[in-house]
Structure formats: structure tokens, C-alpha cells
Amino acid sequence: MKIGLVCPYDWDAPGGVQVHIHDQAQHFLALGHDVNVLAPSESDEGHPSWFTSGGPSRAVRYNGSVARLAFGLGPTRRVRQWVREHDFDVLHVHEPLSPSLSLLAVWSATGPIVGTFHSSMERSRVLTAGNAMAQTVLEKLRGRIAVSESARRTFVDHVGGNFVVIPNGISVANFAGGDVLPGHPRPHSLLFLGRINESRKGLHVLMAALPKVAQIVPDVSLLVAGPGDSELALAQLPPEHRHRVEFLGFIAAEQKAATLRSAWVYVAPNTGGESFGIILTEAMAAGAPIVASDLPAFAAVLDHAAGAMFRNEDAEDLARVLVEVLTDDSIRTALQRKGRERVQVFDWDRVTQDILDVYASVMTGDVGVREDLRGQIAGRLARSWGQ
Amino acid sequence: MELVDLFDVLRLATAGVLLLLLGLYLAMTAGRLDRLHVRYDAALASLELQFALRAEVVAEVLSEGFIDPVSTHLLGRALAARRASTMLDLELEGELSELLREVVDAHEGVVAATELQQELRSACNRVEFAYRFLNEAAETTLAMRHRFFIKYLGLAGHTAFPRAVHCDVQAPDLVG
């Protein structure tokens, strides 16, 4: 199958959407599909053969924040040329309402077009439904994918319509086996991962629960991995308990898997702001038993069973759940097993197949993606300009 | 005398511009509507195709003989009823979805060897996706058809009204 993927955000900058599209392309290529990715990038050189630069992006103020977007004659011309030359069976645009390459691609093409709606948090970066341009884009999408239940809800409120939920993929195998930190996993040790001074990450809830856990599990300890001011974090704890905490500091991406594999119990006390909870899927893949706050996004990822949940921001309840998990090894190993089962849903192998099923359901055989010239004077001008 | 002429010219010019704008708007709206109808037709064709493909995979599952004879009989009947009907019959498709779920559940999620099991999962997913996308297209197109100009100026011509479909398409819970 010939698949065209469009990324609205600058390929040279790091970001979740870029990583997702990169991995998606790799898995399609591995299955023998013909894939080409179009994204804004500073240079045409130095890219693999499956990548096409849509031209440089420009920094503009958009809804109060600075965003790097691609627009103008150059990108429009490149998008049209790309659609014309590749003769795709299906066009898959990411974040189609982002006013950048994705929107231009939908604008310029007709046929089987699928859109994936990502973030429920970066709404400032997308158009609103009332906008005439957004309306045209939505009308041309034959299939809509949301990456999580909460993203789906946000976009249904925002633009309406019918979405299928296909989560972001992770490579389970990369997390499942490999090194652990020396001396770990240590019995009765808890792992926290994330920015340590950011209250949304909820370390303060865990700190408040720790003395209560220590009353029943005297040798409980806490491993904290993440950037931030450790002394500030430690001040939340009574002095006699401070020896229980060890700070690992900032953890590089390559060390994340090893750190998660080293967890006796992984705790995610996040108090909000999570739209997907990819860290929980990684923890499940690494075989870490999970204790997490009952945020809707977390409950959805864990399917209410693959982790032990406590009432959000309730240290008392967290302490109760932690004691249960730490004192009964059968609960801990059951959580581990259920996590490993559950995470299969998020494995790239499964996710890739689901996305291919979406493609199949919008394709009706013969007609592929064509350039759309109808009523698009600007597009015609750009085309004649290019020739 | 000369002033009056000037006003007439202005009036004519204004009327001409307005007419031109209205014409442009109508042409664009008609184009949009046409595109929506094309999308709806494609979605309907896709759903019919996915129903047919699902039935094929189910038939393969039956011929493989992995599942028990009663389930084979029940699914066989559903497939035969489907074959006997010449048009898209949503009730039959819905019954097949329901029956499939029961049979899969009764076999604890495994009804075929790995590869065929995968195919069945895909086929059921595709039905579900095509169904959602069809209703999405129907809703959008219908909303457009009810707009003032389209309704009363007949911009849609004699194209039939699209309709949303309702039937059970929920995929069975296949293991693996």
C-alpha cells in the first residue's frame, strides 16, 4: 500500500507527534508498505528516502503562544507536488486542524484521507470548528482517529463527529527485557518518575503518604528519578524519614526503561494534566507493578485492572493502597502480570494493524489520493508557478 | 441628466457584483455538497464491502473446524441468510455481529489459528470503522442539505438524501 503521512510540526524539533509519526512510518516500512512522510524541515538534504521536506517552518504568534508553522507559496507548492508525484492509496494527516502542512495537505488532496487528532492539551495550536477552513478540512476527512479516550471527548466537544480511538504505540520489546540499575529491584522500594517540583506530577502526595506507609512497612524506601530541586522536595518530609529517599536526578531517555525495570513498585501520583499516560504503558511493558492516582486518563490506560488505583490527591488512600501492595506479594505479582497482558493493546504491532484497518475501511478499491483543484484558485496559481 | 446616468451605472454595477458574488457562493457550495455526496457514496460502498469481507473470513473460520459444531451451525445459518439476501440487510449484519461476539466469548476469545484469528479481528475492526465513518459522512451531508440555499434552490439536484445506518457492529473480544 502507498501511504502518505503528514506531520504539521517541525521535523527538526523534538516532540511527541514527530516521534509517533516516525515510529509509525518505521512499522509500515517493516511490513513492506511504501511510505512517505511530509513535514516541515529546514533543509532538503540529509533525510532518509522515505522523508520529504515541506519547506522551512516560521515562528508565529498563534493564540498567545509561539508556534512553528509552515505556510505560504513554497509549502503549498511542495504539498501539491508531493500529492501529485506519489500517487498514494491513502493520505494520513496528523493534527489536521493545526494551521500548518497538515491543513494544506487536506486542502490540496481528494480521495481516501484519514486524520489523527492528538493532543487534548494543545488546543491553542488548532483551529476552531466555526472556522470555514476547518469545516472544509473536516468534510474531506473520510476517517477520524483520536489517540485516547480523553482526546476523543475533547475533539467531540470541540468539532463534533465520530472518532475511533487508536492509542499511541509503544515498542513493548524495548521495555520488556534488558539491564536494570545495579542493586535493584530492592524489596519494598517505590519508584517515582517525573519533574520533582511540579505539583501536577504529585510527588508531594507520595511524600505525605510515605511516613504512614513506614508505620507498617518499616523498610520502605523511595527512588526519585527526574529533574528538579531535591532539597525542596525533601523538605516536605519529616527529618526522621528523609534517609528513605534517594534521588537519581535527570534520567536520559535510554535509561528510562532500565529505571522502570528496576522498580519494585512504580507509583504515579499525578494530580492532573495527563491526557494519555504514556508513562504507564511504558511501566507496564517494563513489568513494573503500578500504583496510580485515579485520573480518568490513567483509569482508561490501565483498564481499571492493570494497576492499583487510589483517590487522586488523597495521601491517606495512597498509603492504604501502598501498604496492601507492599505487604502482599501475590497482589504485586498479579499487577505485574495484568500489566504485561494489558500493554499488548498499546504495542506497535497491534496499533499498526488497527491503523491499517482504518485505511482499509476508507478505501473503496480503485480510487486513490488525487490532487484537488476544485475551486482552489490559490492552488492553481501555485501549480502554474511551479511549472 | 448626467448625474442620473451615473447613478444608474452605479446601481447596475452594484447589482452585477452582488450577482457575481452570489453565483460564486452557489458554485462553491454546490462543489462542497458534491464532494460530500461522493464521500458518502464511498463510505456506503466501503461498509458493504467490509460486511462482505467479514462474511468471507467467518466462512473460513467455519471451514477450519476450530470451533464446536453448534457454533458452526449457528454461524453457518447466519451466513446463509446473508447470502440469500441480495441487498444490504442491516438486521442480518447486526445479528451476525451479535452472534460472533457470543461465539467468540464462548470460546474464550480464540476461534481460529493465529493468522486467521488476526484476519477476523481486522475484518471486524474494519466493519466497525466503516460504520462509524459512514454515519459521520451521512450526518455532515444531511446538515449541509438542510441549509437554506441548498434546500430551496435545489443545489443538490435529484441526489437522494443520505441516511445514517443503525445496526450492531461491535467487534468481538478476540484474544491475541
Nearest CB to A375 within list B31, B121, B126: B31
- Contact: A375, B27; criterion CB under 8 Å: yes
How far is the CA of A265 from the CAs of A24, A62, A84, A118, A270, in angstroms? 31, 42, 53, 30, 15
What digits encode the pLDDT tens for the residues A227-267?
989 898 899 899 999 999 999 998 887 888 999 999 999 99
- Mutating which of A361, A369, A376 best tests the B interface, going by the most B Cβ atoms within 10 A? A361
Domains of chain A, residue spans: 2-169+347-385, 172-345
* Domain A2-169+347-385: assigned CATH number: 3.40.50.2000
pLDDT given at position A378: 54
Residue A141 exposure: Cα atoms within 13 Å on the Cβ side: 31
Chain A contact for B50 (CB, 8 A cutoff) = yes
| β-bridge partners, A141 | none
Residue A134 exposure: Cα atoms within 13 Å on the Cβ side: 15
Chain B contact for A283 (CB, 8 A cutoff) = no
Residue B167 located in a structural domain: no
* Mean pLDDT of the A53-65 span: 80
Helix (H, G, I), strand (E, B) or coil at A51: strand
On chain A, the residues whose CB falls within 8 A of the CB of B133 are 142-144, 162, 361-362
Chain B contact for A181 (CB, 8 A cutoff) = no
Residue B118 located in a structural domain: yes
pLDDT given at position A125: 57
At B111, which CATH number? Answer: 1.20.1440
What digits encode the pLDDT tens for the residues A288-318?
999 999 988 899 889 888 999 999 999 999 9
What digits encode the pLDDT tens for the residues A199-210?
889 999 999 999
Containing structural domain, residue B99: 3-153
Residue B123 located in a structural domain: yes
Query: Of the ranges A28-32, A122-126, B56-60, B152-156, which one carries the lowest mean pLDDT score?
Result: A122-126
pLDDT of A11 over the 60 cut: yes
Residue B140 located in a structural domain: yes
Chain A contact for B139 (CB, 8 A cutoff) = yes
Please say whether the beta carbons of A166 and A197 come within 8 A: no
Helix (H, G, I), strand (E, B) or coil at A292: strand
* Mean pLDDT of the A11-40 span: 92
Angstrom distance (rounded) from CA A124 to CA A126:
6
The percent of residues above 90 in pLDDT, for chain A, comes to 52
pLDDT of B153 over the 90 cut: no
The percent of residues above 70 in pLDDT, for chain A, comes to 91
Residue B173 located in a structural domain: no
Structural domains counted in chain B: 1
Chain B contact for A146 (CB, 8 A cutoff) = no
Average pLDDT across chain B, whole number: 89
Nearest CB to B49 within list A144, A364, A374: A364
Do A2-169+347-385 and A172-345 come out as alike in CATH topology?
yes
Nearest CA to A98 out of A86, A116, A82, A84 is that of: A116
pLDDT of A127 over the 70 cut: no
Chain B contact for A353 (CB, 8 A cutoff) = yes
- Contact: B129, A358; criterion CB under 8 Å: yes
Please say whether the beta carbons of A88 and A4 come within 8 A: yes
pLDDT given at position A335: 95
What digits encode the pLDDT tens for the residues A311-369?
999 999 999 999 999 999 999 999 999 999 999 989 999 999 999 999 999 987 668 89
* Mean pLDDT of the A170-185 span: 86
> Looking at the domain covering A172-345, what would its CATH class be?
alpha beta
pLDDT given at position B98: 94
Please say whether the beta carbons of B149 and B155 come within 8 A: yes
pLDDT given at position A316: 95
Q: For B39, which residue in chain A has the nearest alpha carbon?
A: A142
Residue B98 located in a structural domain: yes
pTM over 0.95: no
Nearest CB to B50 within list A110, A361, A367: A361
Q: Which band of pLDDT confidence, cut at 50, 70 and 90, is reported for residue A183?
A: confident
Chain B contact for A144 (CB, 8 A cutoff) = yes
Helix (H, G, I), strand (E, B) or coil at A17: helix
The dihedral through the CA atoms of A309, A311, A312, A316 has a sign that is: negative
Q: Which band of pLDDT confidence, cut at 50, 70 and 90, is reported for residue A384?
A: low
Angstrom distance (rounded) from CA A294 to CA A308:
9
